[in-house]
């Protein structure tokens, strides 16, 4: 990475002004130039309105003007042009080489319009004429992913467009930052150093109005009239120009003093903070409910913790910890409404208790049991896809969370627990209630409302267990009733000595954990997989051509968009981790999502690369004695979903109505909704 020349200071100690290079690729025709000047003038004007101290040098690429000292500049911007990235002009091929050089050297560039397209083209993406023709006028973008330099934040922005080419597929390491109805990849990023923007922050209505009028024969009178009418709406030129300057000057660098587990901005996009922690504070002390939590963020350190239950206990009281009033009122609620005690069985238990319970439950997830579920999973997935296509047959979009990602795993785990279809809605509601207080900052009253639904869940399954006593069936509930454990002895493999039955509270705890693990995390995985495939059409086409790639797509989704962000542990004895002393009793959170983006463990760790080496070494399912029992089932559901979706749908496009809002939790990360436009194969 080249040094940032802006880091130099003068005698006063102040940082010197930004110095940017503008790569001019064209200019307006003379009659339009008289209105707002050259493209260089337009950029200088909008930049000066944000920061008049910025210095800008212009290089005219068509005139063979190229910079000879890249180190003298903090970054590069580009103008638009009437040319195409596929034209054979020598300066265009040289510009592609220049972009590749910037990328290889980690230098910053903010490509506008043609520059946006060149970033994609030069690095392996696809740029083509849009099937719908020209895009002109003010377009509304929805922000898909917020970067730290995008401050002040916005859920949507409005910019002026004027183009017929656009990016259709991302380069291998690219991500979509924003999209619009007529331009799904309106803003992209490659790593932390290249950003592309299809709209024009430098354009003003007084320039583009006459520009559109001069192109009436090309665009059509109706399109020109509609575009000119849109110019009365306010645009975000200065907001975006400010983003550009923050991108270049490094002032967007993450400050861990701004980090908060319950901060909505952090929960929406935590990865930059975790990257900073991995770099400078791998064991980072945060607070939750007034109590200290040590976040373990590096891959190797997370592995060390989860593989050492002798030092790091799983007996972590998630509910009510540090809140005496919540604990008291929850206890009273369960006593008054006939609820069962919440007991530790697997997730919050240590050996030997954990081992005993895990042995019992593992019988429900043997390879044979999971494999036998595949026909049912495929049947459910196919039916849900057909329903989505029927609902969108006349065009339009559908929320894939509600239509596919929720009902698929709910129906599958309900079949495993032998729950009738007419209770599926209750099943999901109970599952949501079970996780309501995990990693969230909801009020005491909201927590108690959720606990009432948990008690409803308990009563339903307690009744089902009682029925199985007199009417046993070949299902998990009957198996739990017939199970026996040795409560006093050491962990043993001989089941003959396991003589005591499980209590009702223990069985309900196991069922509740299966309920949550069986659908909440899978829902989040399926949603993210669809989003990633929609954002990477080339990967979608590769999957359609070769469905055997589906397992790799599932693994990479789990790595890049880990549903279970982390898990709690309690330090049992004084220890030292990553140079930090942790006393007995300290609370830690192993951050699986951070570990899965550790660049020391995964090359290009922030990129979606399904066929990467070692993709299955991620920690989305944990590791060690608490490795997720439902991992095989989740992988089955993800694989079958990917296969069925890719074979039944020709394409999936993200709707511009998406706001990409995540549920407010620092432990369970998933989108609230995801609108897609599916096309049948």
Cα–Cα distances in angstroms (integers) from residue 259 to residues 79, 246, 550, in the given order: 36, 19, 36
Helix intervals (H) in 70-220: 90-105, 114-122, 205-214, 216-219
pLDDT for position 14: 52
pLDDT for position 322: 55
- Between CA 592 and CA 603 the distance in angstroms is 17
Report which of 546, 562, 538, 56 is spatially closest to residue 302, judged by C-alpha positions.
Answer: 562
Are the beta carbons of 563 and 670 closer than 8 angstroms? yes
pLDDT for position 492: 40
Question: Low-confidence residues of the chain, pLDDT below 70?
Answer: 1-15, 251-253, 317-322, 364, 485-499
CA quadruple 320, 322, 325, 326: dihedral, nearest 10: -20
List domains and CATH numbers for the chain. Answer: 5-249 (3.40.50.880), 264-680 (1.10.630.10)
- For 39-98, the pLDDT digits (tens) are 999 999 999 999 999 999 999 999 999 999 999 999 999 999 999 999 999 999 999 999
pLDDT for position 486: 66
pLDDT for position 455: 95
- Tokens 């979608």 found at: 540
Handedness of CA 171, 177, 181, 186 (dihedral sign): negative
Full-model pTM: 0.77
pLDDT for position 501: 83
Taking each helix axis as running N to C, give the angle between helix 205-214 and helix 221-230, from 0 to 180 degrees, rounded to the nearest 10.
180
10 Å CB burial of residue 464 (0-12, 13-18, 19+) is: middle
Cα–Cα distances in angstroms (integers) from residue 672 to residues 380, 451, 608, in the given order: 22, 22, 21
Cα–Cα distances in angstroms (integers) from residue 629 to residues 120, 370, 591, in the given order: 41, 11, 19
pLDDT for position 251: 62
pLDDT for position 471: 92
Are the beta carbons of 399 and 674 closer than 8 angstroms? yes
Number of H helices, E strands in the chain: 25, 23
């Amino acid at each position: 990475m080249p040094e940032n020349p802006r880091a130099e200071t003068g005698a006063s100690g102040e940082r010197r002004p930004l110095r940017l290079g503008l790569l001019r690729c064209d200019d307006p025709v003379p009659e339009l130039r008289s209105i707002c000047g050259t493209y260089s003038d337009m950029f200088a004007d909008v930049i000066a309105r944000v920061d008049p101290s910025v210095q800008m040098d212009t290089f005219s690429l068509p005139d063979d003007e190229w910079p000879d000292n890249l180190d003298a500049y903090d970054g590069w911007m580009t103008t638009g042009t009437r040319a195409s990235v596929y034209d054979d002009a020598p300066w265009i091929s040289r510009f592609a080489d220049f972009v590749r050089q910037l990328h290889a050297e980690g230098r910053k560039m903010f490509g506008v319009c043609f520059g946006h397209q060149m970033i994609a083209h030069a690095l392996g993406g696809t740029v083509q004429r849009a099937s719908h023709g020209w895009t002109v006028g003010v377009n509304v973008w929805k922000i898909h992913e917020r970067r730290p330099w995008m401050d002040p934040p916005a859920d949507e922005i409005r910019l002026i467009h004027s183009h017929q080419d656009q990016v259709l597929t991302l380069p291998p390491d690219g991500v979509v930052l924003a999209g619009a109805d007529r331009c799904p990849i309106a803003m992209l990023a490659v790593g932390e150093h290249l950003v592309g923007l299809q709209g024009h922050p430098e354009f003003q209505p007084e320039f583009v109005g006459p520009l559109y009028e001069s192109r009436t024969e090309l665009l059509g009178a109706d399109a020109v009239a509609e575009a000119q009418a849109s110019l009365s709406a306010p645009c975000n030129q200065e907001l975006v120009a400010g983003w550009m300057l923050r991108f270049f000057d490094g002032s967007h660098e993450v400050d861990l003093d701004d980090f908060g587990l319950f901060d909505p901005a952090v929960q929406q996009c935590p990865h930059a903070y975790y990257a900073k922690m991995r770099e400078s504070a791998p064991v980072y002390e945060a607070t939750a409910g007034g109590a200290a939590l040590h976040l373990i963020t590096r891959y190797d350190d997370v592995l060390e913790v989860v593989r050492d239950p002798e030092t790091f206990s799983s007996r972590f009281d998630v509910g009510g910890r540090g809140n005496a009033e919540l604990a008291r009122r929850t206890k009273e609620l369960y006593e008054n409404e006939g609820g069962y005690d919440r007991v530790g069985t697997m997730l919050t238990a240590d050996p030997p208790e954990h081992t005993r319970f895990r042995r019992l439950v593992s019988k429900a997830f043997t390879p044979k049991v999971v494999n036998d579920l595949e026909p049912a999973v495929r049947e459910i997935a196919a039916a849900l896809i057909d329903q989505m296509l029927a609902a969108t047959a006349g065009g339009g979009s559908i929320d894939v969370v509600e239509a596919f990602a929720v009902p698929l795993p709910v129906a599958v785990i309900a079949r495993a627990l032998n729950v009738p279809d007419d209770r599926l809605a209750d099943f999901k509601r109970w599952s949501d209630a079970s996780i309501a207080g995990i990693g969230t900052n909801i009020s005491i009253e909201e927590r108690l409302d959720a606990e009432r639904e948990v008690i409803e869940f308990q009563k339903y399954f307690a009744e089902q267990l009682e029925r199985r006593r007199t009417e046993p069936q070949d299902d998990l509930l009957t198996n739990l009733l017939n199970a026996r454990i040795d409560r006093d002895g050491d962990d043993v493999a001989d089941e003959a000595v396991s003589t005591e039955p499980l209590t009702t509270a223990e069985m309900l705890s196991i069922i509740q954990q299966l309920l949550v693990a069986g659908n909440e995390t899978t829902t989040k995985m399926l949603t993210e997989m669809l989003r990633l495939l929609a954002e990477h059409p080339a990967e979608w086409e590769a999957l359609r051509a070769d469905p055997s790639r589906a397992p790799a797509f599932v693994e990479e989704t789990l790595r890049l968009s880990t549903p279970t962000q982390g898990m709690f542990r309690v330090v049992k004895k004084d220890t030292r981790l990553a140079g930090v002393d942790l006393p007995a009793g300290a609370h830690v959170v192993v951050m699986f999502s951070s570990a899965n983006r550790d660049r020391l463990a995964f090359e290009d760790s922030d990129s979606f690369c399904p066929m990467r080496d070692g993709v299955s070494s991620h920690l989305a399912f944990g590791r060690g004695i608490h490795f997720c029992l439902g991992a095989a089932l989740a992988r089955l559901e993800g694989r079958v979903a990917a296969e069925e979706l890719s074979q039944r749908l020709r394409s999936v496009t993200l709707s511009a109505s998406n706001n990409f809002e995540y549920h407010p939790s620092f432990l369970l990360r998933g989108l609230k909704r995801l609108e897609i436009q599916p096309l049948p194969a």
